[in-house]
Amino acid sequence: MVDDLEYLKKVVNSVKSTTDNKWVPIWMDAGKKYEIIGDGFEDNNDNAKARLAYLQAKTFYSIGRFPGEITTLKKSISDCCIRAYGKASKHLDPPLIIHDIKFKEFKIRAHLRIPKASGKLPAVLIMCGADVFKEDRGWAGDHALNNGLASLVMDAPGTGENTFPWEPSSVKAWMKAVDYLASLPEIDSKRIGAFGISRGGYSVMQLAGSYPEMVKAVVAVAGHPFGYEMKLEELKQFVNARNLRSEYIFGEPDGPRTFPEWSIEKENRLNKIWSLSELGILKNIRQPLLMINGKMDHLCPIGNIYFMLENGPPVGRESRIYPDAGHCAFKYFNEWAPASFKWLKEKLN
């Protein structure tokens, strides 16, 4: 997502605080630099180079809005991120189509791309996580396209441009998105899969168990909680990692914690609310399933994958665990990302 790593290092070295008054301006300046470069290329009708520059701008803006639109400053740089991504996507072929999915008082803005082909196509719903948004998952749509799959990319409930609240019932947001894909004349409603990362890795499992008649293949990169119960020592380490993260304030200097303080009691309570086994949907997940993660993930314990391998059909579940990688195994992104969509293509054809 960043081409010039030396420039990225320079920007990172200039960061003195994570509070929004110090954090946002640094990433705003970096994003503007590349957006101006992109405007110059576009003025000269060099749309390919303009797209690359706009994507760089989007990435820097996106880092600035982490972990979301929690303050006025974060909202301003989030708007810049959406604008830069819109510029980057303006000349795509096939085009990026922005569609609003509506359900009751809620609305989800999603990004749709459909390959040019004869006959009905398989499709994949691409699910985002808690603090990474659809503008950061355009690469997943590209991989889908390269494998002849239509793609619909959408923010997680309660984030970005998805107004559904983040609660167990928000699985309806994903179900509405699947229904929308199935309604399109270009799409084969019997060949729809799902791909998710981090919280999206959990959501794709929840969707698979809640809507098995419509979701035919699943890739989950990380995800928690599935039903795996950590032993006490692992649970203590998990809670400690969450609390270390909570020490950083990404909002206003005198504002509340950006990430809540954690405890063993809170983790156990949330497991009772969210785990696939407690929701009663674990038995419904019988689709082809590919699970990926780093063994050292401190946010989504690797035991979740073993739990799913131990609780399901004797065939049809695959996994790739990277022993020297952490959350989502992004160290090996260039390996598992294209492989995931090749796998989806095989399972949906």
Can you give the pLDDT at residue 69? 94
CA-to-CA distance for 279 and 297, rounded, in angstroms?
24
SS3 category, 33: helix
Can you give the pLDDT at residue 124? 98
What are the per-10-residue average pLDDT scores of the chain (349 residues)? 93 96 98 98 97 97 96 97 97 95 92 94 96 95 97 94 93 95 98 97 97 98 97 96 93 93 96 96 97 96 97 95 97 97 97
Alpha-carbon dihedral of residues 47, 59, 172, 303, nearest 10 degrees?
Answer: 130
Contact by Cβ (8 Å): 193, 344: yes
Pairing type for strands 217-221 and 289-294 reads parallel
DSSP for 173-240? HHHHHHHHHHHSTTEEEEEEEEEEETHHHHHHHHHHHH-TTT--EEEEES-S-SS----HHHHHHHHH
Strand partners, 71: none
Full set of structural domains in the chain with CATH: 5-89 (1.20.1440), 97-227+275-348 (3.40.50.1820)
Looking up tokens 């954690």 gives 262
Can you give the pLDDT at residue 180? 97
Q: How far is CA 142 from the centre of its chain?
A: 14
Contact by Cβ (8 Å): 1, 50: no
Q: In sequence order, which residues have a C-beta less than 8 Å from that of residue 186 and are 6 or more positions away? A: 114, 120, 121, 150
Can you give the pLDDT at residue 104? 87
CA-to-CA distance for 113 and 125, rounded, in angstroms?
11
Can you give the pLDDT at residue 217? 98
Backbone phi and psi for residue 196, each to the nearest 5 degrees, phi listed first: -145, 150
CA-to-CA distance for 67 and 71, rounded, in angstroms?
10
Q: How far is CA 200 from CA 7, 168, 203, in A?
A: 30, 13, 5
CA-to-CA distance for 148 and 341, rounded, in angstroms?
10
Other CB atoms within 10 Å distance of the CB of residue 113: 22
> What sign does the dihedral 216-218-223-225 (CA atoms) show?
positive
SS3 category, 293: strand
Contact by Cβ (8 Å): 215, 195: no
Can you give the pLDDT at residue 1? 81
CA-to-CA distance for 201 and 312, rounded, in angstroms?
17
- pLDDT tens for residues 182-216? 999 999 999 999 999 999 999 999 999 999 999 99
Predicted TM-score (pTM) of this structure: 0.95
Burial pattern 234-256, b for ≥16 Cβ within 10 A else e, equals: eeeebbeebeebeeebbbeeeee
